[in-house]
């Protein structure tokens, strides 16, 4: 059969369009970026780094993203992003600093300014208005500091600073552990434990309750005022804390007692126990996150190397364990998960930083049930001993938000 030149041209054009269409259909679309803090080596003096991964919108699989950057110090321990996802902050323990990076449209990071601290940082959090960053510091004493932000840049002097001490046990050794800010930004909460009262393998010298959460209301000019009855008891050794997006509840993991503690958040920033708690977790829970719709809680169990999942009862805030298709409430990760993040673009992928596994584990979140399934090709290799991760949406993707009832 013979074809005219015109027919041949038409056939070639059609085939070209078909191939282009198939390639477009198979094209990987990035929905989020994952930023993970880790080290280039296993020694205590190894340089810290921030690795960047891109999230595939369909599978949730991670692939290498923009170029890895220095964390600006040694032993990065915590990361935080602004609510507009334009800025990333990294706290370096050994270097005692907080480094500010601009997040570019392709997920790459540009180092900006550095805040030098007088003590070792433990946790970071930015308020929803992006006007303040909160830094929790200390190894044998705990301090909460608040620094003003201006277009992401950190003020060199603190707007407010609060030592976290127990009035009746002022000489006790207080160890800071975690930090969160309420959804409105009106309240700040920091967890600590009293090492003088809880010291496995060592002597105790105090009869104080060991686990506590301190609450502060943010006033004019950033003034921090302790809430009524603060500090509040928080188990034995609180390890992670999260405020959910309806601004009604706060949740804390207790590393020593293997439990999740829930609180109702009052209009003046006060906390009161949820009456049916605490709730069972796996062994040695380390970190916690609430999904952006305010429906589910996910936490990492460091000793068991897995996740626990809970559905939040809308009216009361009480969490109930989510049972998966294998009749289990646990989801395996790599070794010793220490940090967890939920993707802000779709609210359907979850990732954990696994400290001893040198990996990230990925999960797909069913928005209707809260059940998790593993993402394609998980786990994903990182540098040595990852400690923290955070996420930012790519481009102009819509963000998941809470639905109030």
Top CATH class of 28-393 equals mainly beta
Please report the pLDDT score of residue 110 as a whole number.
98
Q: How many CB atoms lie within 10 A of CB 360?
A: 28
- Mean pLDDT for the stretch of residues 58-73: 97
Please report the pLDDT score of residue 22 as a whole number.
37
Domain ranges of the chain: 28-393
Q: Phi then psi for 43, rounded to 5 degrees?
A: -75, 155
pLDDT confidence bin for 2, thresholds 50/70/90: very low
Please report the pLDDT score of residue 330 as a whole number.
85
Interval 168-220: pLDDT, tens: 999 999 999 999 999 999 999 999 999 999 999 999 999 999 999 999 999 99
Is the pLDDT at 7 greater than 50? The verdict is no
Rounded distance between C-alpha atoms, residue 12 and residue 116, angstroms: 63
User: Rounded to a whole number, what is the largest CA-CA distance in the chain?
Assistant: 98
Is the pLDDT at 4 greater than 90? The verdict is no
Interval 360-374: pLDDT, tens: 999 999 999 999 999
Interval 225-243: pLDDT, tens: 999 999 999 999 999 999 9
pTM: 0.91
Please report the pLDDT score of residue 329 as a whole number.
72
54 phi-psi bin (left φ>0, alpha ψ -120 to 50, beta other): beta
Is the pLDDT at 129 greater than 70? The verdict is yes
Please report the pLDDT score of residue 324 as a whole number.
73
Chain mean pLDDT for the chain: 91
Percent of the chain with pLDDT over 70: 90
- Mean pLDDT for the stretch of residues 281-305: 97
Tokens representing 281 are 């977790």
């Amino acid at each position: 059969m013979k074809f005219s030149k015109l027919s041949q041209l038409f056939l070639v054009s059609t085939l070209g369009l078909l191939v282009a269409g198939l390639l477009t259909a198979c094209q990987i679309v990035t929905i989020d970026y994952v930023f993970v803090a880790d080290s280039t080596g296993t020694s205590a003096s190894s340089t810290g780094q921030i690795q960047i991964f891109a999230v595939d919108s369909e599978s949730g699989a991670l692939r290498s993203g923009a170029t890895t950057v220095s964390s600006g110090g040694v032993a990065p321990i915590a990361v935080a992003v602004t609510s507009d996802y334009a800025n990333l902050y990294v706290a370096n323990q050994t270097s005692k600093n907080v480094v500010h990076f601009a997040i570019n449209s392709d997920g790459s990071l540009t180092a900006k300014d550095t805040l030098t601290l007088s003590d070792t940082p433990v946790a970071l959090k930015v308020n929803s208005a992006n006007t303040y960053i909160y830094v929790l510091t200390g190894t044998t004493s705990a301090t909460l500091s608040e620094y003003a932000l201006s277009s992401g840049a950190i003020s060199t002097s603190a707007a407010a600073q609060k030592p976290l001490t127990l009035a009746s046990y002022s000489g006790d050794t207080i160890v800071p552990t975690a930090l969160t800010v309420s959804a409105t930004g009106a309240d700040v909460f920091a967890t600590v434990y009293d090492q003088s009262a809880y010291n496995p393998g060592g002597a105790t010298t105090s009869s104080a309750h060991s686990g506590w959460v301190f609450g502060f209301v943010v006033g004019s000019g950033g003034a921090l005022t302790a809430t009524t009855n603060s500090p509040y008891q928080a188990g034995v050794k609180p390890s992670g804390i999260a405020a959910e997006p309806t601004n009604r509840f706060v949740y804390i993991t207790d590393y020593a007692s293997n439990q999740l503690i829930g609180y109702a958040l009052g209009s003046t920033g006060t906390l009161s126990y949820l009456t049916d708690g605490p709730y069972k977790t796996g062994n040695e829970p380390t970190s916690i996150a609430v999904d952006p719709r305010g429906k589910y809680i996910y936490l990492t169990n460091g000793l068991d190397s897995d996740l626990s999942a809970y559905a939040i009862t809308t009216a009361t805030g009480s969490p109930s364990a989510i049972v998966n298709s294998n009749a289990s409430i646990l989801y395996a990760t790599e070794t010793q998960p220490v940090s967890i993040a939920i993707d802000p673009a779709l609210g359907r992928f979850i990732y954990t930083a696994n400290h001893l596994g040198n990996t990230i584990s990925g999960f797909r979140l069913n928005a209707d049930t809260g059940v998790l399934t593993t993402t394609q090709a998980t786990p994903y290799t990182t540098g040595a001993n990852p400690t923290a991760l955070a996420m930012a949406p790519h481009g102009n993707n819509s963000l998941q938000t809470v639905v109030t009832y």
